[in-house]
Amino acid sequence: MSEQLQNKRHTLAHLLAAAVLEKYPHAKLTLGPAIDTGFYYDIDFSGGAFPGDNDLKDLQKSMKKLINKWTEFTHEEVSADKAREVFAGNQYKIELINEIEARGETITLYTCGGFTDLCRGGHCEHPNKDIDTSAFKLDKVAGAYWRGDEKNPMLSRIYGLAFDTEEELRAYELRIEEAKKRDHRKLGKEQDLFTFSELVGAGLPLWTPKGTLIRHLLDDYMWRLRSKHGYQRVTIPHITKKDLYETSGHWDKFADELFRIKTREGKEYALKPMNCPHHTQIFDRKPHSYREMPQRYAETTMVYRDEQSGELGGLTRVLSITQDDAHVFCRINQIKEEFDRVWNIVDTFYGTFGFGDMRVRLSFHDPESMSSYLGTPETWKIAEDMLREIAESHNADYFEGPGEAAMYGPKLDFMAKDSLGREHQVATIQLDLNLPERFDLTCINEEGKKERIAMIHCAVMGSIERFTAVLFEHLGGNFPLWLSPTQVRIIPVAEAHTQYAAEVHEKLLAVGLRAELDSSKESMGKKIRIAKQERLPYFIVIGDKEVADKKVTLESRDGEAEELPLDVIANHLLAINDTKKM
């Protein structure tokens, strides 16, 4: 977002806070930043009335009334004592002031229209002139923990939308409405792809036959792409002794997300939250000559992470995560080539679904929080420099994300935009110089000596659950022929056409197409409507002309129709299926 729009959104967060205090004087303000679509403010309403979604219109009216008096921002640098005096009684602001003081930074108060807030700056110079009041609106109220920590008090987060113009706001709202229609939870129910059960538990999706077929088709496609690059399949158990994760560092760094198991003998195990430590043990089963390097292992399997119940949602955040996981064990001089191989797979896979050009986030460590990571600053610098060089060699549109690294190494995270313009983090390739050190993984080099190796983690879909959620919404449920659970439905116009329709059905089944025969007693018009509602790629209507000419009329969900001979139709559909055409 532009600096100008950032400043507008930040200013509106202050304006919202002023409107809240006017109507709810008992409220305690906390933080109110600008975000990608507007702004929000987290507020503690404990001990009195608080707004719900139905109260947002009144608050919005107050904001539009107040902005007339918001002619200019002024700011003042104050001492910590002065700031604590201004915000006496607000423990949240006091906490922030104490932190700023401890860092030795300047404390500034910004005032506009009689409202003063603790702030670093970044506002409109003249809000009443710079902000179009038709280009913002309050959106919703949600819960949020103070500082994002569930141990802290729950606050009310009021979200607002804000853009430069009313037209941009309206366009965004239209995209949101379209997104609601495409919500993967809605599509999953309509197309009978997956379900959830209270008896099984939240965050544990159950996949129907149709949904399972889609998962397997995606995984089969992924395996064909990987097998061309020399990957081999492996299989590991779903649990492990505590010892494995103590060696890898996960028991210490990842403790809160582990599902732990105690045996009758008192031994401690864990459900695997990731596969990499297990795969190291497959590599380490025997010595490897440099001639055998790289070793490329791939496996699609579930891992389990103990997420907070409030963070679970549809397929995007679950407890059981299916990873199309792969690990490459290679020499240091092979890292670039192996990254290039995976990059090729990523481009092919996501290009198939029309995601187009993707940005790349270089997810690096936070130097201020080294205790969160394995290894030394020197090792991290080596790995991060390598990733930067790889991104540049691909002429990638990349940006750096400090603090986004995995605990064992930096990542290349691919960012894809869906058909609604929303950006999602999808595939990831991670360079790990730390687990090989912890597990003492080596190969025997040309001189007959042990040589420390590198490890590359790569997941193209990442989480199949999350990827399918993104894909369902990207496609709006309109699956390409090769991925659709039902590829074609044959619809006889009347009883007299059923025998020929059955013949067509058998021909399509014989070549492996997923065809259905609609033998219901419904009218032809209703049968066609149902096929379109189910977003089937194709349907075939059989009437007098088709029976007489031994032909079929193939119609697509897009409304295109073509007449084809019976002996051609199967190969025609197979050709479309094999090209992965959208």
| CA 369 to each of CA 96, 105, 245, 377: distance values in angstroms, whole numbers, following the listed order | 20, 20, 21, 11
Kindly name the residue from 60, 295, 323, 425 that is annotated as catalytic: 323
Residue among 276, 330, 443, 458 flagged as catalytic:
276
Q: Is 327 a catalytic residue?
A: yes
The active-site residue out of 10, 182, 184, 305 is 305
- Give the integer Cα–Cα distance in Å for 415 and 412: 10
Amino acid (one-letter) located at 18: A
SS3 state at 515: strand
Indicate if 581 belongs to the active site: no
411 catalytically annotated: yes
Could you tell me how many residues make up the chain? 582
Q: What is the 3-state secondary structure (H, E, C) of 125-187?
A: CCHHHHCCHHHEEEEEEEEEEHHHCCCCCEEEEEEEEECCCHHHHHHHHHHHHHHHHCCHHHH
Query: Coil, strand or helix: which one is 281?
Result: helix
Residue 473 structure tokens: 């919404």
Query: Is residue 193 a contact partner of residue 471, using CB atoms and an 8 Å limit?
Result: no
HSE-up of residue 476 (Cα within 13 Å, Cβ side): 13
Judge contact between 338 and 344, C-beta under 8 A: no
Give catalytic status of residue 103 as yes or no: no
Q: Count Cβ atoms within 10 A of the Cβ of residue 476 and give its class: 0-12 exposed, 13-18 middle, 19 or more buried.
A: middle
Catalytic option among 279, 296, 317, 411: 411
Q: What whole-number distance in Å separates Cα of residue 271 and Cα of residue 294?
A: 28
How far apart CA 294 and CA 296 sit, in angstroms, is 6
Does the active-site annotation cover 276?
A: yes
- The first and second tokens of residue 146, run together, are 């103070």
Question: Of 9, 278, 327, 361, which is the active-site residue?
Answer: 327
Tell me how far apart the alpha carbons of residues 398 and 388 are, in angstroms, rounded to a whole number: 9
The answer to whether 542 and 504 are in contact (CB under 8 A) is yes
305 is catalytic: yes
Given 44, 117, 325, 413, the catalytic residue: 325
Instruction: Choose, from 250, 457, 466, 489, the residue flagged as catalytic.
Output: 457
440 is catalytic: no
Tokens linked to 558: 């897009």
Under a CB-based contact definition with an 8 Å cutoff, are residues 342 and 394 in contact? no
Residues annotated as part of the active site: 276, 305, 323, 325, 327, 411, 457
